């Protein structure tokens, strides 16, 4: 729980911060767009799994982090372990891929960078994917993994996730918050360009349609349908934007302003702050979806990663220090 002083400080700070693009990032982003835009909207169905994993596997491996296969709560995945990790703290990361794609193997380098920045071990589970395993399979697997960490004696867990994984992290956070004893173990969440509204009512689906180099609406609609399998897209169990947000631990969101999911981040953070949550969204000018994977090449990625590490380190340290 936050102290009264920390709650007041959070209330006085802006909940949305805009970061101008660094001049050197414009060159890198322009080069990236020249490669990706010809394929915009073409990743569809399960056939996209291999090329999507190949894209994510290009993330530079972090120094000072080792990786090992394991299973937690019966869910297989990868541990990312910095050599200087503090004891007792674990990051549970849900990978992205529109609920249909992605794997722990492809995302382990990205999560390894988060681990190294926060000086905490991370586990990336291979939750089940749609359409073979629609809702609630992925959420159940993430919850099983979380419960496995708790059962193993981990005292401080931060939930993180990118894109669809951000959705799973935020939905799971709300489930945990309803269980007071478990809530004390989940100390924070970080969501990277999360999908918070499967009803797709955010204005940025139109306002950023041209700017986004990756996704188009009918592509996302198809992927979302395969995950929902008839579920109401406004159900809080699948769209954290519509859930009860009061009582959640501190949350940080990072999103680019050149992506159709911009308003999924902005509207979620605004609702969380209105509910009294210590929440903040960092908006990065000109950055596309998943820009954190450009760590080592993009200054925005490096800065966002540093901010995430500082935030998570502070939350873990606060738990160790006690009330």
Strand stretches in the chain, DSSP E: 16-19, 65-72, 75-82, 89-94, 121-125, 156-162, 186-192, 251-256, 279-284
Residue 37 bears catalytic tag: no
What does pTM read for this prediction? 0.94
pLDDT the model gives residue 273: 98
Structural domain count of the chain: 1
Domain limits for position 278: 4-321
What count of other Cβ atoms lies within 10 Å of the Cβ of residue 100?
23
Given a cut of 90, is residue 183 above it in pLDDT?
A: no
Residue 163 bears catalytic tag: yes
Confidence of residue 181 (pLDDT cuts 50, 70, 90): low
Confidence of residue 178 (pLDDT cuts 50, 70, 90): confident
pLDDT the model gives residue 179: 82
CB 167 within 8 A of CB 194: yes
Beta-carbon contacts of residue 89 (< 8 Å; ≥ 6 apart): 118, 120, 121, 154, 155, 156, 157, 158, 316, 319
Instruction: Name the active-site residue from 259, 265, 293, 301.
Output: 259
Cα torsion angle, 59, 64, 67, 72, sign: negative
Residue 259 bears catalytic tag: yes
Given a cut of 70, is residue 63 above it in pLDDT?
A: yes
Percent of residues, the chain, with pLDDT higher than 70: 93
CB 51 within 8 A of CB 124: no
Instruction: Name the active-site residue from 163, 226, 239, 301.
Output: 163
pLDDT the model gives residue 3: 38
Confidence of residue 182 (pLDDT cuts 50, 70, 90): low
Alpha helices in 13-126 (DSSP H): 23-36, 49-56, 104-118
Instruction: Name the active-site residue from 19, 95, 113, 289.
Output: 289
Per-residue pLDDT reduced to its tens digit, 78-102: 999 999 999 999 999 999 999 999 9
Q: For the residues 47-57, what does the mean pLDDT come to?
A: 96
Per-residue pLDDT reduced to its tens digit, 235-278: 999 999 999 999 999 999 999 999 999 999 999 999 999 999 99
pLDDT the model gives residue 5: 39
- The CATH number of whichever domain residue 48 belongs to comes to 3.40.50.1820
């Amino acid at each position: 729980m936050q102290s009264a002083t920390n709650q007041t400080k959070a209330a006085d700070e802006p909940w949305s911060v805009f970061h101008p693009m660094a001049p050197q990032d414009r060159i890198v982003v322009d080069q990236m767009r020249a490669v990706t835009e010809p394929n915009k909207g073409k990743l569809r169905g399960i056939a996209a799994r291999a090329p999507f994993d190949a894209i994510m596997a290009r993330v530079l491996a972090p120094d000072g982090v080792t990786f090992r296969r394991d299973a937690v709560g019966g869910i297989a995945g990868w541990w990312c372990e910095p050599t200087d990790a503090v004891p007792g703290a674990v990051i549970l990361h849900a990978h992205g891929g529109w609920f249909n794609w992605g794997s722990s193997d492809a995302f382990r380098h990205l999560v390894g960078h988060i681990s190294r920045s926060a000086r905490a071990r991370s586990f990336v589970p291979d939750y089940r994917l749609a359409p073979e395993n629609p809702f609630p399979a992925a959420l159940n697997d993430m919850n099983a993994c979380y419960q496995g960490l708790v059962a193993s004696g981990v005292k401080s867990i931060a939930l993180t996730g990118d894109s669809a994984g951000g959705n799973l992290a935020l939905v799971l956070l709300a489930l945990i918050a309803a269980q007071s004893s478990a809530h004390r173990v989940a100390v924070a969440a970080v969501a990277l360009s999360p999908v918070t509204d499967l009803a797709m009512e955010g204005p940025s689906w139109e306002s950023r349609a041209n700017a986004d180099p990756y996704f188009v609406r009918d592509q996302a609609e198809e992927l979302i349908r395969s995950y929902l399998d008839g579920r109401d897209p406004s159900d809080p169990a699948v769209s954290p934007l519509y859930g009860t947000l009061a009582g959640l631990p501190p949350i940080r969101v990072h999103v680019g302003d050149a992506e159709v999911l911009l308003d999924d981040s902005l509207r979620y953070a605004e609702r969380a702050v209105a509910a009294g949550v210590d929440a903040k969204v960092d908006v990065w000018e000109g950055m596309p979806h998943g820009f954190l994977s450009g760590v080592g090449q993009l200054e925005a990625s490096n800065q966002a990663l540093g901010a995430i590490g500082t935030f998570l380190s502070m939350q873990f340290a606060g738990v160790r220090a006690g009330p």
